[in-house]
């Protein structure tokens, strides 16, 4: 399997237009790999896109990826769904135009994501009705895409909450890769097979590399109460022991540059851990 990380940022891509921190200044000056767009992954084997942040249209151009046959959604949040207008590019008919709509991609998600991202949003409901064949997967349900099988693993974002988030397990008969781009706190780790590759949420940092406070204790008890911290992310990696793990959803808030992440990865060499950057190619 071959993956490209299209966007390694999170809800707040880097640079943030309103920010002049050293990480944003560097990203504005240097571009990729210092700049990070919203979280999206592309699986070349079956031309599958996982998540659709708002700039995914431009990112596919940047990576020269011209075919998308499947779009998987991990959850309903705006930073993973507001790029769905790219469905119109994927399904557009070649001229001479008859109806504009050609072969549309398959949009894969949980019933919960369909309810929250599509049904509850008239704009996206109208768009996806015309520009996608929607396929809803139940928890544990498996889908075959050519030579690949994909298993859907659902999890809540908050304990005892509804299964708002989806992870996707891709298997090609030789290797197993799990893509769980965000909201990893309550992933059912006990249901995972041995993994060759895990592309997962990094989790938040309490401090900058220089030791300045990034989130208060109060935030950790309130607005961040259901978010995964980097320390918890490391615990998950130690529990699952994948052959290789790539951390993504690298928020601007973490105030870490590409070079900071390189140094941090070197400090966790025993976990075969690395941090994603836009354009990163991964083969398993
Ligand atoms: Zn996100
Ligand atoms: Zn900044």
CA of 256 to the centre of ligand 2 (A): 9
In this structure, is the dihedral angle defined by the CA atoms of residues 268, 271, 275 and 279, taken in order, positive or negative?
positive
CA of 34 to the centre of ligand 2 (A): 11
CA of 102 to the centre of ligand 1 (A): 30
Q: What is the predicted pLDDT for the residue at 82?
A: 96
Ligand at shortest distance from the CA of 255: 2
Pick from 85, 78, 31: nearest CA to 60: 85
CA distance 230 to 248: 11
CA of 122 to the centre of ligand 1 (A): 22
CA of 11 to the centre of ligand 1 (A): 5
Q: Which residues surround ligand 2, an ion (CB under 5 A)?
A: 19, 21, 24
Q: What is the predicted pLDDT for the residue at 89?
A: 95
CA of 270 to the centre of ligand 1 (A): 27
Q: Extract long-range pairs of 123-132: CB within 8 Å, 24+ residues apart.
A: 124/81, 124/84, 127/84, 127/85, 127/87, 127/88, 128/84, 128/87, 130/101, 130/104, 131/87, 131/88, 131/90, 131/91, 131/101, 131/104, 132/71, 132/87, 132/91, 132/104, 132/105, 132/106, 132/107
pTM above 0.95, yes or no: yes
Q: What is the predicted pLDDT for the residue at 67?
A: 96
Domain spans of the chain?
2-283
Ligand at shortest distance from the CA of 257: 2
Residue 168 and residue 151 in contact, taking contact as beta carbons nearer than 8 Å: yes
CA of 182 to the centre of ligand 1 (A): 5
CA of 141 to the centre of ligand 1 (A): 23
Ligand at shortest distance from the CA of 208: 2
pLDDT in tens, 177-209: 999 999 999 999 999 999 999 999 999 999 999
State in Å, rounded, how far the first CA of the chain is from the last one. Answer: 5
Q: How many CB atoms lie within 10 A of CB 74?
A: 26
Q: What is the predicted pLDDT for the residue at 78?
A: 96
Q: What is the predicted pLDDT for the residue at 44?
A: 98
pLDDT in tens, 143-173: 999 999 999 999 999 999 999 999 999 999 9
Q: What is the mean pLDDT of residues 41-63?
A: 97
In this structure, is the dihedral angle defined by the CA atoms of residues 58, 64, 67 and 69, taken in order, positive or negative?
negative
- Token code pair at residue 111: 């019933």
pLDDT in tens, 58-110: 999 999 999 999 999 999 999 999 999 999 999 999 999 999 999 999 999 99
CA of 165 to the centre of ligand 2 (A): 28
Q: What is the predicted pLDDT for the residue at 62?
A: 97
CA of 61 to the centre of ligand 1 (A): 22
Q: Token pair 């996806």 is at which residue?
A: 128
Phi, psi values for residue 92, rounded to 5°: -65, 135
pLDDT in tens, 223-255: 999 999 999 999 999 999 999 999 999 999 999
- Token code pair at residue 225: 């109460």
Q: How many CB atoms lie within 10 A of CB 188?
A: 14
Taking the domain 2-283, which CATH number applies? 3.60.15.10
Pick from 163, 263, 249: nearest CA to 203: 249
CA of 243 to the centre of ligand 1 (A): 24
């Amino acid at each position: 399997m071959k993956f490209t990380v299209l966007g390694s940022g999170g809800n707040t891509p880097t640079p943030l237009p309103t920010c002049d921190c050293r990480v944003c200044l560097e990203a504005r000056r240097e571009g990729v790999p210092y700049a990070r767009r919203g979280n999206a992954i592309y699986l070349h084997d079956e031309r599958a896109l996982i998540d659709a942040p708002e700039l995914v249209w431009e990112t596919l151009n940047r990576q020269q990826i011209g075919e998308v046959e499947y779009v998987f959604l991990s959850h309903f949040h705006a930073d993973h769904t507001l790029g769905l207008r790219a469905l119109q590019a994927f399904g557009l008919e070649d001229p001479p135009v008859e109806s504009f709509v050609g072969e549309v991609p398959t949009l894969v998600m949980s019933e919960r994501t369909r309810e929250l991202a599509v049904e509850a949003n008239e704009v996206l409901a109208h768009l996806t009705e015309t520009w996608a064949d929607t396929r809803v997967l139940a928890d544990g349900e498996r889908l075959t895409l050519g030579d690949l099988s994909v298993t859907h693993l659902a999890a809540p974002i908050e304990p005892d909450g509804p299964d708002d988030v989806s992870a996707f397990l891709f298997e090609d008969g030789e290797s197993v890769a799990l893509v769980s781009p965000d909201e990893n706190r309550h992933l059912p780790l006990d249901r995972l097979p041995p993994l060759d590759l895990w592309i997962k949420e990094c989790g938040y940092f309490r401090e900058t590399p220089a030791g300045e406070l990034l989130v208060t204790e109060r935030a950790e008890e309130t607005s961040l109460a259901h978010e995964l911290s980097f320390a918890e992310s490391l615990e998950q990696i130690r529990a699952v022991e994948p052959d290789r793990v790539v951390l993504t959803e690298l928020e601007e808030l973490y105030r870490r540059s590409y070079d900071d992440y390189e140094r941090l990865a070197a400090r966790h060499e025993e976990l075969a851990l690395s941090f994603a950057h836009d354009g990163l190619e991964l083969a398993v």
